[in-house]
Structure 1
Amino acid sequence: MKASTIAEREALGRAAREHSKRSSHRTVGELKRNPIELLKQSNEGRVENLVPLRYGRMAVSPFTFFRGTAILQANDLSQISDTGLTMPICGDGHLMNFGGFATPERQLVFDLNDFDEVAVGPFEWDLKRLTASLVVAARHMGLSRGAAENLVMTAVTEYRDRIAQYAQCGALELWYDRITFDRMAETALTPERRRTVRRGMEKAANRTHESSLEKMAEHNGDHWTIRDAPPVLFHVLGANALFTTEETEAYKGANWRKMLERMWGDYLKTMSHDRRELLSHFTVQDIVFKVAGVGSVGTRCMVVLSVDHMDKPLFLQIKEARPSVIAQHYKSPAIKHEGERVVQGQRMLQAASDIFLGWASGPMGRDFYFRQLRDMKLSANIELFDADLLEGYARLCGWIMARAHAKASGKAIEVSSYIGRGDQFAEALAGYAASYADQVESDYEVFMKACRSGVLQARTEEDMAADFRV
């Protein structure tokens, strides 16, 4: 029977400690798995000729390797006990998957911004992904073990304090809560850091569809064509086909228009009437293939350029949605459409979502979702961070994750009651994150050895770009 009173819900949270002690979160478990086999498993169904580029991007450092291996941590988390306090979770909430973007009202907010792995899972899995990423990043930056531990304590205590505040909120308060620049700056940053972020915001404000048009496309008399910039952006042509013959035929020449027409009809059905009306003002000009991120390399991703009657552009990204690694390793509800899973998960976890989010089925029965390509987006560059800025950022990530979990689940009371007011949970996660960062470094060495010996083929951007010039 569902608990209804606040006292009953608090009791449920405390009861979860009986089978999942807060101190137990320190353990990473006995990891008897082959990272190379799991990596190969995660490549199934990807564009085979792009997998070497995925490995090339992962090979840069243990941190980029970590970003590309959500499947490893999901597998490892499934081997240890969990709280049973489940909810929609991001599934890949490492520190690079947070950032700034514009709301429909053109206000810059900070939030989670990658939902490819979103699924129902234990709340602490998101925190373990985040905290491990903080330690791996701290080591990449050459920070001390103590500084890395401090980052984890900062993020988790912020999560604890915020989730306790959200436990006192009404449903509408939670739904309307947004982490704007001003709110974030007041609590997470020192005055000089605010200036740094404000400069970043000013740059983000210029990352609009219009500013992208001149950089990314050229006008050929009566229509716009996106410029090729291989291996990141390119038209699918026979000479440099990355795909099977059947798939190449779907994407190349005039065939892409037929493919897009079929997908567009499905996509529009997932939109509200006003959004459909807005999209009717745009005419499609061109479509190119895009190779994005680290973990996403090898998935099918396209960029569509449309313009309205004033020649003002709209760039939409159509991205393949593959089964979530969380759903593969935790018993989640059955999924009908992977694109719908991503979109609905994003709408639940974010405070304000892209107005063009939607989904459709594409060539060869693959699932896709649609979103804007660039709209005042602001992302972290940890290479430019120091310990002080990273600490402020860790605090912000803890806050964002608490807000996302509270809104998406309605279980802030239970989670807050489980964590309690002390540092026991945070200290356990600090221990976990340090041990898991050791595991990441160990897996990275195994991965690099496989690359060097030829078991895995890793290629750089330059190697791949050369293929297009042949």
Structure 2
Amino acid sequence: MGEGFASDSGQSTSKWQERRASGRAARQRTPRGTQEAVGDVDRDPIELLRINSMGRVPALIPLRYGRMLASPFAFFRGSAIVQAHDLASTPSSGLTVQICGDCHLSNFGGFATPERALVFDLNDFDETAQGPWEWDVKRLVASMAVAGRHLGHGRAGSEALCFEAAQSYQQHMREYAEMGVLDLWYERITFDRMYDDVQNEDVKRRIKRGSERASRRTHEKLLPKLADRSGDAWRIRDAPPAIFHIRGASTLVDEDDEWMKLEGDSHTILTPLIRDYVSTLTSERAALLSQFALQDIAFKVVGVGSVGTRCFVLLLTDHLGKALFLQLKEASTSVVARYVGATKHTHDGHRIVHGQRLMQAASDPFLGWASGPVGRPLYVRQLRDMKISADLETFSGEAFRGYASLCGWALARAHAKASGCALEISGYLGSGDRMAEVLVRYASSYADQVEKDYDAFRLACRSGRLMARTDADMAADFAA
């Protein structure tokens, strides 16, 4: 996408038809049937995981692997680098757009817009970069296949999930191809809209229950769960290995780590970082943030794939003692950029924020980026404010298929908004079931490969090639 205005001729009816035709023409270069290839799987997944673990806090890498051991789907979640490696050798339509880069089914969820409306959307952008749109769709359908099998829906049931997600992506992309630019920019998948559209009563109950849960997941409710009050001050409560003060008795950070060598207290160390971060906010949001005072900062272990990266939670309060929790998260090199090519952003925090603002229907008002005290790129967002995720373990087959359709819809909206290429992508996809069927075959074959890789990973952990520890194991070290 270039800068400035498009020319009048670029918006003509003939040009509109040419753009859709160019998407159809891409099928000649890359027939849709070739998209079922799983790519170059003649590689060592363990070595790729080691590469992806470089630069992380050493004591937390075993916890990352311990969380990945929980199931083939947990392994899949934590091994985005492996699929990116494999996808790099697969055919591409040639349409490069802003992609999520880690588009599995658990990286979708509900959260509040700045206007406090609850929407469903993508919610993780650590790997976002310019890349083939197919990569996101293939990671999504593969996640459906892997998770569906693990949760007992069988091969046929899992393939039905994949088809639902792929077909939903195709159908909604076709709708977005005919939508005006501003209409598309303002498009949101709200929970109210979802509730009205759904016919199944079980799904309706889940949407309503999700809305009620989200309304309770506020900073005010989170404060007594994460912190203790001492006089007028609040201090985050240590609960290792999940959360701890980096220079406290429960720390899991080595004494020779770069963060441990910094001089001064947390406020002194963070002042330049916060100033850097605030400069990336709009002026009115910077003014809003200026009314909060920093109370405490602690290291917080998050997710599966992110375990071991330097992530912190900042507790701030206003003049009434009302809390605001911000998450400060290390921005590592994108696995997409590693295999597709260099990103235009020299700062990985900026890369993540740019991708998130571009792809989401509405983004966190406190989303910004900064460089850490030792130069590591970081990004900042709110912690858990009205955020909810699907409880997949309790889904019936029908509810799961509805969720798969919802994920395909949300991904189509994100790609269409971010790229302006809905016409071309829709032209390539076509109107029949051909591409959805191809993606089902890809997902099924790749799920087979994930299960093989998971077995190799488990063997590496059992043999001592990799060290893996659970949260409970590490927590017991501090209880002893």
TM norm. shorter chain > 0.5 = yes
SS in 1 for 2:153: coil
Match of residue 202 from structure 1: 212
Match of residue 176 from structure 1: 186
The counterpart of 2:431, out of the listed 403, 421, 440, is 421
CA distance in 2, matches of 1:44, 1:457: 14
Deviation at 1:24?
0.9
Report % sequence identity: 55
Deviation at 1:277?
0.5
Pair 369,30 (structure 1): closer, same or farther in 2 beyond 3 Å:
closer
Deviation at 1:244?
4.6
- CA deviations on 1:186-220 (whole Å, 9 max, x unpaired) are 33551222112211210110100001111111110
Match of residue 134 from structure 1: 144
CA distance in 2, matches of 1:452, 1:189: 47
Q: Any conservation in 2 of the 1:250–1:363 contact (CA below 8 Å)?
A: no
CA distance in 2, matches of 1:259, 1:387: 51
The question of 1:375 aligning with 2:421 is answered: no
What is the number of equivalent residue pairs in this alignment?
A: 469
Match of residue 58 from structure 2: 48
Structure 2 letter corresponding to 1:262? P
Q: Structure 1 stretches (4+) deviating beyond 2 angstroms?
A: 1-4, 185-189, 237-241, 246-252, 331-335, 466-470
Structure 2 letter corresponding to 1:245? D
The counterpart of 1:64, out of the listed 49, 74, 87, is 74
Match of residue 158 from structure 2: 148
CA distance in 1, matches of 2:287, 2:465: 52
- CA deviations on 1:428-459 (whole Å, 9 max, x unpaired) are 00000000000000000000000000110000
Q: Any conservation in 1 of the 2:68–2:304 contact (CA below 8 Å)?
A: yes
| Paired residues for 1:18-417 under 5 Å | 18-188=28-198, 190-237=200-247, 239=249, 240-249=251-260, 255-417=265-427
Q: Any conservation in 1 of the 2:195–2:208 contact (CA below 8 Å)?
A: no
SS in 1 for 2:51: helix
- CA deviations on 1:54-74 (whole Å, 9 max, x unpaired) are 000000000100000000000
Deviation at 1:335?
2.5
Deviation at 1:241?
4.3
CA distance in 2, matches of 1:188, 1:47: 45
SS in 2 for 1:249: coil
CA distance in 2, matches of 1:189, 1:358: 39
CA distance in 1, matches of 2:361, 2:228: 36
Deviation at 1:287?
0.4
Q: Any conservation in 1 of the 2:39–2:88 contact (CA below 8 Å)?
A: no
Q: Any conservation in 2 of the 1:121–1:332 contact (CA below 8 Å)?
A: no
CA distance in 1, matches of 2:309, 2:50: 14
CA distance in 1, matches of 2:145, 2:230: 49
Q: Any conservation in 1 of the 2:315–2:326 contact (CA below 8 Å)?
A: yes
Q: Any conservation in 2 of the 1:53–1:459 contact (CA below 8 Å)?
A: yes
CA distance in 2, matches of 1:29, 1:305: 45
Q: Any conservation in 2 of the 1:98–1:110 contact (CA below 8 Å)?
A: yes
TM-score (norm 1): 0.97
Pair 296,246 (structure 1): closer, same or farther in 2 beyond 3 Å:
closer
- CA deviations on 1:338-397 (whole Å, 9 max, x unpaired) are 000111100000000000000000032100000000111110121121211110000000
Match of residue 440 from structure 1: 450
Pair 250,353 (structure 1): closer, same or farther in 2 beyond 3 Å:
farther
Deviation at 1:413?
0.3
Deviation at 1:246?
4.3
SS in 2 for 1:305: strand
Deviation at 1:400?
0.1
Q: Any conservation in 2 of the 1:189–1:392 contact (CA below 8 Å)?
A: no
SS in 2 for 1:306: strand
TM-score (norm 2): 0.95
SS in 2 for 1:318: strand
- Structure 2: 5+ residue runs without aligned partners? none
Q: Any conservation in 2 of the 1:92–1:129 contact (CA below 8 Å)?
A: yes
Q: Any conservation in 2 of the 1:188–1:395 contact (CA below 8 Å)?
A: no
- Structure 1: 5+ residue runs without aligned partners? none
CA distance in 2, matches of 1:241, 1:206: 31
